[in-house]
Structure 1
């Protein structure tokens, strides 16, 4: 991140290792390292938001949306159907089934200018007290049935609001009637199914289910509702949305798609990546975790890369965060800020080494960065600062970079990290100021261009 500061490999007071001062890619879809941190942070903010809403007396549902899929269906087509297509220079953005859920007069109500045709001016949104949702998209794939993208959403209802956009505030909570909740569920199921049918009849979910043990309770596989009744439910849900390995907690279901093991015969994208690593590393197909040949796994991974490019994995309804008192956003810059803050929140550092930029390049060139990190963790049980630094230095000596390494005690490593943070903060401020200047210059150029265009237009008219 800063050539002048280099890199610090250190052990925290909790006995874990951390490498400070490195750039992160922030690719939540593609990077197992960055995804783990980002999704963990996302799960924390989802938990905070949903628990706060239930404390206020509001109601939360976990709603899962799926589409029918087959072996030959392309992931990009399925993602377009669920999330909407992305805008390109040649084509406008087209809404998917998700966007259609929260549009239209039946949902949002109708204005009085409609005349007497519509006596009911309120929509379903008003009757259930919808204030917003937190959406996460998850993807799995299998040899038999192909891609299976699906959306998990925590939907917050039972609220009355005042104001518009950034000034919108919750003024009251209430319990929607059973009739209005049933109306909402039926409307979303019908809208979801109808929209997918219009986009591609092959993606239309089944209307009914004959499995007695299916959670859809015979209502079809497209949309599933689960209500959260307590704050503990909310905590579990937020974890489930973010996704943990066992996939039981709802915020983890939303955010932690990186850790989930796919059900049935499907695998997650990071399980594809793990099998690719095993097979390219010489592990036999029968011994490697996952399924399929190396060619099949590489093909699915490359398709996944293309289909998720430019899409958000986790997204809050606009202004929902501010209504719940939660800071932050959903952009890639916000993800990078989460990674930066995770580094800054490492807590007390016990000991470590500082490595110059040149030295770190030599370490990574010989693939010793993981060994250095493991050495800092002190798996031998000896957490004495001198022993920690000595172990790390022994590993780095293999890269012949002894002259680029400085052993740091507890106070020294804290001071070095503090200086690194100060340098990074200064560089961020300088970069922000540079972007503002460039934006102002572009605005000036745009004004000049518009004025020149106007002069030319007037000249042509008078001519």
Structure 2
């Protein structure tokens, strides 16, 4: 274990053997991976002008402090440790540390809503809206095209006639004493929908697309061939109007709109925000930590689709093309909305409205009993940042407690200073909000 080498034989802990069990190391191991990825994202997105106002928020995440001093807590069973008093960026698109917390919160909300709707006898369908694209296409332009097409599709008369005014919206407006004046009763009425924006990169370039979980009163749309065909034709028409007019209409009709139900919805929600398998069983974790054991470098332009965080994993392994793609993605997607719920839908299911930054700042309830390990002073925290040892420090705190951390801090001044170590007590307001 790395910490044992650093500490020698002087540091003892009653939980040392337990901490060495692979299962108990997993929370810390995952934290190390995410800090590695986050540090790479910081370096990719850092504005070298040095102007604080120009930096992406991720560049200060889990570096800046809410006030002087940094407490460290550990699980008493040695399975985990964490910093308190660190500021978060809430950048769900680009921050590997904040993203899991945000997407898991969103996934739980979607899961709660779909389970409750199924209990009430409703049906959930999954609609996917996408566009054709080529490797040379600019990500901003493709995103603008598919987003504009989605707006046109939502406001199309036939689409409105098909789905009607969202029932949850009608109920919310009536409860507020402002009833909908021109309510449309759809042929396939829905309570509302949740729309999620996602993107991958593959052999044909950037692939932004929408997944829409629709809360239907029944699933008859799945067997209504004429209506479904008409919806596909309208989606293609909207894509062409939005500027995606260089592709074969037959291909756009075949792949542009997809509708599924049943297990597909459950499977989508289960995987929402989770890191997928990358290539031949290699996860992001493998890409970051096992590069030397692979027979060859993975080609990011091969016949695969990668998520932005998988690209970031490749970049961590030194692939400059992947780093450039991640930066291109960050420039295009920062500030874009990940999820949209139609008006009244959250109220209907009793789900509170919480933005991404609030979620990232929430202190998670510890799954096991915790204890305070130590407080770091500002100079000690600066040394940790200079040596890029945040994750290593947490590993030692989890396994060896206070004695281990003190030993680590005593040795820290001798470690190479690989980074500036700069941090603020007050979070700067960057332009990438």
Q: TM-score when scaled to structure 1?
A: 0.60
**Cα shift at 1:240:** 2.3
Q: Which shifted more, 360-369 or 179-188?
A: 179-188
**Distance of 1:342 and 1:42 partners within structure 2:** 16
**Cα shift at 1:346:** 5.7
Q: 2:352 aligns with which of 319, 323, 327?
A: 327
1:17 aligned onto 2:81:
yes
**Distance of 2:222 and 2:69 partners within structure 1:** 62
The answer (yes or no) to whether the contact 2:67–2:85 under 8 Å persists in 1 is: no
Aligned to 1:337: 358
**Distance of 1:25 and 1:203 partners within structure 2:** 39
**Mapping 1:268-283, distance limit 5 Å:** 268-279=307-318
Aligned to 1:391: 404
Q: Which shifted more, 3-12 or 146-155?
A: 3-12
Aligned to 1:195: 238
**Cα shift at 1:350:** 3.7
**Distance of 1:29 and 1:71 partners within structure 2:** 22
1:375 aligned onto 2:396:
yes
Aligned to 2:329: 304
Deviations 1:238-288 (A, max 9, x none): 2223334259xxxxxxxxxxxxx9994232211222222211xxxxxxxxx
Residue segments in structure 2 that go unaligned for 5+ positions in a row: 1-64, 166-181, 279-299, 415-425, 427-433
**Mapping 1:101-116, distance limit 5 Å:** 101-109=153-161
> Which structure's relative contact order is higher, taking Cα pairs within 8 Å and 6+ residues apart?
2
CA gap of 1:9–1:358, structure 2 versus 1, over 3 A, is farther
Aligned to 1:267: 306
**Distance of 2:240 and 2:371 partners within structure 1:** 59
* Aligned length, in residue pairs: 313
When the two chains are superposed, the root-mean-square deviation of aligned CA atoms in Å is 3.3
Q: 1:357 aligns with which of 345, 360, 378?
A: 378
Q: TM-score when scaled to structure 2?
A: 0.64
1:132 aligned onto 2:192:
yes
1:98 aligned onto 2:129:
no
CA gap of 1:12–1:127, structure 2 versus 1, over 3 A, is farther
2:261 partner SS: strand
Larger radius of gyration: 1
**Distance of 1:14 and 1:320 partners within structure 2:** 42
Aligned to 2:136: 72
The answer (yes or no) to whether the contact 2:93–2:333 under 8 Å persists in 1 is: yes
CA gap of 1:203–1:31, structure 2 versus 1, over 3 A, is farther
